[in-house]
Structure 1
Amino acid sequence: MKNNNLILLLLAFCITTFTNGQHRKKNIEEKAPVEIAQSPKLVVGIVVDQMRYDYLTRFWNHYGEGGFKRLVNDGFNCKNNHFNYSPTSTGPGHASVYTGTTPATHGIIGNNWYDKETGEEVYCAGDDSYESVGTTSDAGKMSPHRMITTTITDQLRLHTQQRGKVIAVSLKDRGAVLPGGHTANAAYWFEGGNTGNWITSSFYMDALPQWVNSFNASDEVEAYKKPWNTLKPINTYVESGLDANSYEGVLDGETTNTFPHDLPTIWEANSQFELLRKTPYGNSITADFALAALEGEDLGADTITDFLAISFSSTDYVGHFFGVNSKEVQDTYLRLDQDLARILTVLDEKVGVGEYTVFLTADHAAINVPAYLADQKIPAGYLDMDGMREEFNEFLQYKYGTTDVVKNISNYQIFLDHKILTNLDIDLDDAEEEIAKELLTYEAVNQVYTGHQMWTNEYTEGIPYILQNGYNQKRSGDILFVPRPGFISYGRTGSTHGSPMIYDTHAPLLFYGKGIKQGSTVDRTEIPDIAPTIAALLGIAFPNGTTGKPIGEVLQ
């Protein structure tokens, strides 16, 4: 009996040991390997110039399934995405998207700004130390040298030991130069004028590659010299204002601002190929060239991640000229939707479904035409800058005995002459405060902050937070002023941007493709979050000035 019990115990022990061993083996086999980073063959960064977030929702029912809707439905939509700095303009926008920080750190404080060291106005991408490539004009004398931090594209190049390619394209030079970063293989932009060619700078190369020469020699750009009529019946464009109105510009050679726009007839009056910038055809040309770059540079052809940066600029030109409520803007976005669908289809074919990652955002948004808003009884209007300057000069003459204490007024900033203030024995902080108080008495000025406030305080919300993120200690002015909501310094037709107000800061942010979750969030995200999100996805170092944070909800 004892022997039988012993045998049963031994048998039970063996079974238990075997079972536990099988469980351990199964657990080891079922444990998924840790994926430390995603490796898409290609990252495509898309910046749509002057795109408001509500262009997604306003024109939603007109979009096809393959463009904006595909990115939203199959990707991740950040619905409450904002620029967290001002000025909200193209140069700072592109730099902030790609550096993961703001003008306070990357140094691009405007498209143009007053240089305190030279006493001259400088352009964000201008660089006379380089020559034009592909043209005899000065349009190619560009480089990213004024941007003092790295970009996500730079970090990709560094991480891959320069093996990952970076190509940037845009109608605007700054829309290609700044996203491309300091180490891009190439950045290309559209010359327009009487050539309609794509050009570059000797910063990148000494001669255009054959595929660019072939594109320039083809008839692809000339094919867009055709009338611009609406893509769909104009009576279905109920999401925009009347076609004939007083809030839009009139193209040279036309007598009305209504559809159709006969481009061949007004071609010469509008500097030939320059005219295409103010039409949706400029975006289509950009898409054509981007796809030629995809093919010509073999982007996404191997397992080393490449980067294609595309900026669509015609949306900005059309918005400035016709205004955000125009049928021209609506038609431009419906046609852009088709161009996006075309790009995604080619990416599927050339790179492979699930093998690439895309993000889409804007470089700023825009205000509705203040004249239109005022006619709707909404507080809005225009700054009388000449009248303000005259009144301001009277104040300076009375207070200091000279207007020379001010060196420059631009980008809603005032630059003081520190040497003259010292010679007059006037304390800089006192002068800043006295001038700020004077500006605050002007009807069209809503808020004023001094450089001293920007230096000594740490703002975390509201307008001062946005201003401080745009304030660069070495490059910005001594006094910053903010117009009343709805008020701009601009002509009475068309829309503009640049302010810290929400109509200029609320822009789309969509992620799609490899490593991206499907979903959306209404939590606040900010433009500097884009670069670190892509860096976290790729498992590479953040750009060296990064102040944004990865958006965790986006990543798988």
Structure 2
Amino acid sequence: MKQFTCVGGWLIAGLLWFTSVAPVSAEGPKLLVLLVVDQFRADYVETYGGQWSGGLRRLIDNGAWFTEAAYPYLNTVTCAGHATIATGAYPSTHGMISNSWWDRALSQSVRCTFDPDVEVVSYGIPHEPGESPNRLRVPTLSDELRLQLDSDARVVTFSLKERSAIMLGGHLADVVTWFGRNNAWVTSSVYTKRPIPFLADFIQASPIEVLHGTRWSRTLAATNYLYEDDIEGERPPANWEGTFPHLLEGEQGLPDEQFYERWRTSPYSDEALGQMAVAALEQLQLGQRASTDYLAIGFSALDHVGHRFGPKSHEVQDVLIRLDATLGRLLDELDRWVGQDRYVVGLSADHGVSPIPEQMIALGFDAGRLRFRLVREHLESVLEQLLGPGPHVAGMAANSVYLVPTAQRQLAQNPQLRVGVLEGFKEIPGIQKVFFADTLAERRLSEDHLERAAALSYYPGRTGDLVYVLKPYWMSGAAASHGTANFYDRRVPVVLFGANIKAGRYASVASPADIAPTMAHLVGVTLAQVDGRVLAEALQ
């Protein structure tokens, strides 16, 4: 039995759990594994790689490592990055331009996965908004795997974040699980109407709350870490200091919101995801049947920690050391259950991260923090001088300014007013360049790399009217952040490992968008809309 649904203009078959067996080729890998480490800067491999001896080390040393890989687009954030890795397309194609954007019809910001028409299926407290992939405009690698090759393929994804798990899982996954806003593991009714039995058993047997009172200390001796432990500009979670150790404890001595936030901001959350993946590997026999299956994990701890402590912190280094161990155990289990020559791994990140601005200022660089309230006030002042009394700004999100309809019409009719707006916008400290969005659709091949980056993040109806690009070392938000076209945000690792992969270091042009087309090639699947390429130089 199949239920057919139209999603983003294409027809997909909503498949029931593990039914309808289709013949598959005996050749090629039997399990595709995507590992996405949130906020994993490419230079962490060179800078901190000497601290690793487990899974990260094995992937780098024995895999095909594309040392110059980078995203070519502007909005280097989680939802856009995971969608790009899963589809092989850029935001201008897949439509997931950011973690959220301004919805003109609703007059509010909406999350990339927010869907009030579906329900959350919870393994704990059920009350939170629905989430789904309904805004994703192209099929993912796993969708095409099931549609073209084998409807019995099992598709499993895990992450702390809904936007990570859902983008990696696409529209047709079986098990898509994330840690919800109400501090419970959850999924969406898009994928299942009830908790998955093996996962419910695992969660009951491995409660997060047993970690209450645990101290997160350095894994290695302090002398093995680079830089100082407490650096200017760090912003630890409430009631944590800037130095080790860090106590995973609730505010009242019981598991509460503070405890769960501390758990997210620690390597223990990555370890939980690794354990869940191993449970799925065993219980669902991933890669152990005639079908080719798909397993994807979005490791989120590095992002939570990096935002708070910055890229030079001991905390970031220790998260990577422990992730190295977690991945080592996962690879060992893949060898055991699937076999070394029967799976292929793609390792990458959704984005990098900026240095902490205060640290760059201390070194004499032009750096700082952009305050959205001040940006909006300045732009309103500029627009009032040009257009008359406002307000003229409806909202701000995704490196964009969204104007009210009257301001849109006035500017569309008068090129001189548009020039005035651009000049006024560039007076704001930290702004490098500004574009009117309606000029970007045809500029994806622009020789101006910033214009091209903005164009590759542009999607009609979602991007605002004005798109701005920040200068290097300028940012907004936490201690350190991302979301710009600067190279430290765009450059991330791309590593392929396993069946039919030729190990080595490759300096050729590459992008995380190349992972899905390459994996699709290995299993004989054709992706519908891709901006990436097959990394043929790394194939045996």
Select the structure of larger CA radius of gyration: 1
- Give the aligned partner of residue 41 of structure 1: 30
State the secondary structure of the residue aligned to 1:414.
strand
Q: TM-score scaled to structure 1, two decimals?
A: 0.88
Kept in 1: contact 2:387–2:407 (CA 8 A): no
State the secondary structure of the residue aligned to 2:246.
coil
1:248-302: CA deviation from partner (whole Å, max 9, x where unpaired): 1233234x22111122365657533332110011100111111111122211111
Instruction: Write the distance in 2 (CA, Å) between the matches of 1:197 and 1:388.
Output: 37
- Give the aligned partner of residue 119 of structure 2: 131
Stretch deviating more after TM superposition (288-297 or 303-312): 288-297
Shift of residue 40 of structure 1?
Answer: 0.9
- Letter matched to residue 402 of structure 2: F
1:529 aligns with 2:514: yes
- Give the aligned partner of residue 160 of structure 1: 149
State the secondary structure of the residue aligned to 1:167.
strand
- Give the aligned partner of residue 55 of structure 1: 44
1:325 aligns with 2:309: no
State the secondary structure of the residue aligned to 2:434.
strand
Alignment partner of 1:88 out of 76, 88, 113: 76
- Letter matched to residue 36 of structure 2: V
- Letter matched to residue 441 of structure 1: E
Instruction: Write the distance in 2 (CA, Å) between the matches of 1:107 and 1:345.
Output: 37
Runs (5+) with no aligned partner, structure 1: 1-35
Shift of residue 219 of structure 1?
Answer: 3.3
Kept in 2: contact 1:198–1:212 (CA 8 A): no
- Letter matched to residue 76 of structure 2: T
Shift of residue 341 of structure 1?
Answer: 0.2
- Letter matched to residue 82 of structure 1: A
Cα separation, partners in 2 of 1:425 and 1:337, compared to 1, 3 Å: closer
Shift of residue 478 of structure 1?
Answer: 1.5
Kept in 1: contact 2:367–2:430 (CA 8 A): no
1:113 aligns with 2:97: no
State the secondary structure of the residue aligned to 2:68.
strand
1:149-548 alignment, distance < 5 Å: 149-191=138-180, 193=182, 197-225=184-212, 226-237=214-225, 239=226, 241-254=227-240, 256-264=241-249, 268=255, 270-422=257-409, 427=413, 431-457=417-443, 458-460=445-447, 462-491=449-478, 494-542=479-527, 544-548=528-532
Instruction: Write the distance in 2 (CA, Å) between the matches of 1:81 and 1:37.
Output: 32
Kept in 2: contact 1:429–1:452 (CA 8 A): no
Cα separation, partners in 2 of 1:252 and 1:442, compared to 1, 3 Å: closer
Instruction: Write the distance in 2 (CA, Å) between the matches of 1:549 and 1:68.
Output: 24
What percent identity do the matched residue pairs reach? 31
Cα separation, partners in 2 of 1:478 and 1:38, compared to 1, 3 Å: farther
Alignment partner of 1:146 out of 107, 127, 135: 135
Shift of residue 355 of structure 1?
Answer: 1.0
Stretch deviating more after TM superposition (108-117 or 506-515): 108-117
Instruction: Write the distance in 2 (CA, Å) between the matches of 1:59 and 1:244.
Output: 18
Kept in 2: contact 1:91–1:108 (CA 8 A): yes
1:48-88: CA deviation from partner (whole Å, max 9, x where unpaired): 00000111111122111x31121122110000000111210
Q: TM-score scaled to structure 2, two decimals?
A: 0.90
Stretch deviating more after TM superposition (72-81 or 440-449): 440-449
Shift of residue 387 of structure 1?
Answer: 3.0
Cα separation, partners in 2 of 1:168 and 1:295, compared to 1, 3 Å: same
- Give the aligned partner of residue 102 of structure 1: 90
1:311-343: CA deviation from partner (whole Å, max 9, x where unpaired): 100110000111111100000000000000000
- Letter matched to residue 276 of structure 1: W
Stretch deviating more after TM superposition (77-86 or 439-448): 439-448
Runs (5+) with no aligned partner, structure 2: 1-24
1:447-478: CA deviation from partner (whole Å, max 9, x where unpaired): 11112321344414511111110011221112
- Give the aligned partner of residue 13 of structure 2: none
Instruction: Write the distance in 2 (CA, Å) between the matches of 1:523 and 1:50.
Output: 22
Kept in 2: contact 1:253–1:269 (CA 8 A): no
Kept in 2: contact 1:90–1:111 (CA 8 A): yes
Shift of residue 46 of structure 1?
Answer: 0.4
Shift of residue 158 of structure 1?
Answer: 0.9
Shift of residue 137 of structure 1?
Answer: 3.4
State the secondary structure of the residue aligned to 1:319.
helix
State the secondary structure of the residue aligned to 1:117.
coil
Instruction: Write the distance in 2 (CA, Å) between the matches of 1:346 and 1:537.
Output: 22
Instruction: Write the distance in 1 (CA, Å) between the matches of 2:514 and 2:448.
Output: 17
Cα separation, partners in 2 of 1:425 and 1:539, compared to 1, 3 Å: closer
State the secondary structure of the residue aligned to 1:243.
coil
Stretch deviating more after TM superposition (358-367 or 449-458): 449-458
- Letter matched to residue 463 of structure 1: L
- Give the aligned partner of residue 5 of structure 1: none
Kept in 1: contact 2:352–2:488 (CA 8 A): yes
RMSD in angstroms over aligned alpha carbons? 2.0
Instruction: Write the distance in 2 (CA, Å) between the matches of 1:388 and 1:275.
Output: 32
State the secondary structure of the residue aligned to 2:249.
helix
State the secondary structure of the residue aligned to 2:468.
strand
Instruction: Write the distance in 2 (CA, Å) between the matches of 1:452 and 1:253.
Output: 46
Shift of residue 170 of structure 1?
Answer: 0.5
Instruction: Write the distance in 2 (CA, Å) between the matches of 1:277 and 1:393.
Output: 38
Instruction: Write the distance in 1 (CA, Å) between the matches of 2:309 and 2:140.
Output: 33
Shift of residue 192 of structure 1?
Answer: 6.7
Instruction: Write the distance in 2 (CA, Å) between the matches of 1:386 and 1:346.
Output: 50
Cα separation, partners in 2 of 1:118 and 1:73, compared to 1, 3 Å: same
Instruction: Write the distance in 2 (CA, Å) between the matches of 1:145 and 1:419.
Output: 30
Instruction: Write the distance in 1 (CA, Å) between the matches of 2:116 and 2:520.
Output: 33
- Letter matched to residue 253 of structure 1: N
Shift of residue 431 of structure 1?
Answer: 4.4
Between the two proteins, the alignment pairs up a number of residues equal to 511
1:374-418: CA deviation from partner (whole Å, max 9, x where unpaired): 112233211243333322222222211122333222222122233
Shift of residue 429 of structure 1?
Answer: 5.2
- Give the aligned partner of residue 23 of structure 1: none
Stretch deviating more after TM superposition (163-172 or 373-382): 373-382
Cα separation, partners in 2 of 1:345 and 1:50, compared to 1, 3 Å: same
Stretch deviating more after TM superposition (218-227 or 461-470): 218-227
State the secondary structure of the residue aligned to 2:510.
strand
State the secondary structure of the residue aligned to 1:523.
coil
Instruction: Write the distance in 1 (CA, Å) between the matches of 2:502 and 2:129.
Output: 40
Kept in 2: contact 1:140–1:199 (CA 8 A): no
- Letter matched to residue 292 of structure 1: A
Stretch deviating more after TM superposition (154-163 or 264-273): 264-273
